[in-house]
Structure formats: structure tokens, C-alpha cells
Amino acid sequence: MFFCLLLLAFVAASSVCAASTNSSGLIFGYYYIVTAEDGGAVQYTNNDDGEYTLEWTNNSGSFVAGAGYDPGSAQTIRFGSFEVAGSSYLSIYGWTTNPLVEYHILEQNYGGNDPPVGLTWKGNLTSDSSVYDIYETEIVHKQSILGVTNFKQYWSIRQDLRSDGLVTTGNHFSAWAAVGMPLGTFNYQIVAAEGFASSVNGSLTNAVESPPAGPVRQFSCLVQAHI
């Protein structure tokens, strides 16, 4: 049996919202989304003291869970500590339309689960104290935000992996455009925990720091899962 808990800490309130395995919505201005394979039952709960829980069971496939913004933008995002046992990614994850693009800015990779095969290396960039390798691939006849179709997938993969810090997304978007990887109109953009069919126990919480110059959007969330 597969169990997952997503805890988001914002402001005090209390409500319960049952949802399907693939669910999304807005909580006090923050967008959340959870997608999971194999049809596990899901319930999203907004607890007292600003805690939000998301649970699902009977799911042996992979999942993506996170919170952020809809639409996204070329913004700076701060994320906090992320600790996990098993195969999972920590990334800035999102979509654009026209062109239809799924993108990942990969910050941490637990369990050595490699990104998809068939990636084409396009170059690199330096941002937020590390070099990132840039990759592109074409995804054929897979699920997207527009249904089953073909779309591009972009990756920036950090060489010096980390579990907290700031991500200057605009640096990546500019570097992608410079190597022929344009984005379109922003859809959602989240700090995502991506788990795979393995034992996963993790947390993602916002660090309390003085923000740097310029706009920084902050949120907190906890992701835990295990088989």
C-alpha cells in the first residue's frame, strides 16, 4: 500500500476537501497540485494553525506533488530543507502553452533515479552558485495539461545538488531561449517533490531567511510517502 502526506504551512484555518488522485486548487493564494499513477484515493485537508495534509493510498506508481503559483513567471523562488530516502526529485516544475512545454529545474536527486532517456544536451548555465546542464527532449503521446499529446520537455540539472536555497528561474528561461528552447504562456509553477515506485520519506519546508534584493515568493510544505 502506498501512502503520501503533503503538509503546507501558511495561515490558520480549518476545512476538509476530498479530491481525486489528480487534484489541484488554490489555498490562500497558493496553487497546489498532486498527480499520481494507478488511481489511489486522495484527500486534501486544511488543518488548524496553517497545516495542510494530502493523503493517498493504494498507489504503487509515481507521483508529483507541490505548491507554488498559477500562473508562474520568471521569478526567484526560495525553498527549504528536503530530506528523503528512496527515489525522488526536488525541482522547480511547471508548464507553458504555445509552445506546450513541461520543464524541470532539478535541485536534488535522491536514489539516483536518472532523468528520462533520450535527453539532448544543449549547453549549460551558471546560476545560484552552481553550473546547470541544459537538456531537451520530445515527449510523444503522453499525458499533459492539455490531455494526451506530444510536447517538449526542458531540463536544467544542477551539478552541485542541494536541498535548500534560492532558484532564479529567469536565468534558466533566458539560457533556454538562447539555445533554441523557447517557453510560451506560463501555466502553473511549483516547488515539486517527484516520487517513484520505491520507498520515499521526505520533507520540504521553507527556510526562514532575509530575502535578497528583488521579489521573492515563499511558502512551506512537507511531503512524506512510503510503500
| Span 121-147, pLDDT tens digits | 999 999 999 999 999 999 999 989 999
Q: How far is the C-alpha of 162 from the C-alpha of 139, rounded, in Å? A: 27
Q: Hey, what amino acid is at 144?
A: S
Query: Tens digit of pLDDT for each residue in 36-59?
Result: 765 554 455 544 433 345 454 444
Query: Tens digit of pLDDT for each residue in 80-111?
Result: 666 554 567 889 999 999 999 999 999 988 76
* CATH domain 3-226 topology: Jelly Rolls (2.60.120)
The catalytic residue among 51, 55, 107, 194 is: 194
- Planar angle of CA 172, 130, 94, nearest 5 degrees: 35
Is 51 tagged catalytic? no
Residue indicated by cell numbers 545538488: 161
Element (H, E) at 140: strand 130-144
**Residue 54 near residue 89, CB atoms below 8 Å:** no
C-alpha cell at 153: 520537455
The catalytic residue among 102, 107, 136, 138 is: 102
Give whole-number Cα distances, 201 to 161, 168, 198, in Å.
18, 27, 10
Is 102 tagged catalytic? yes
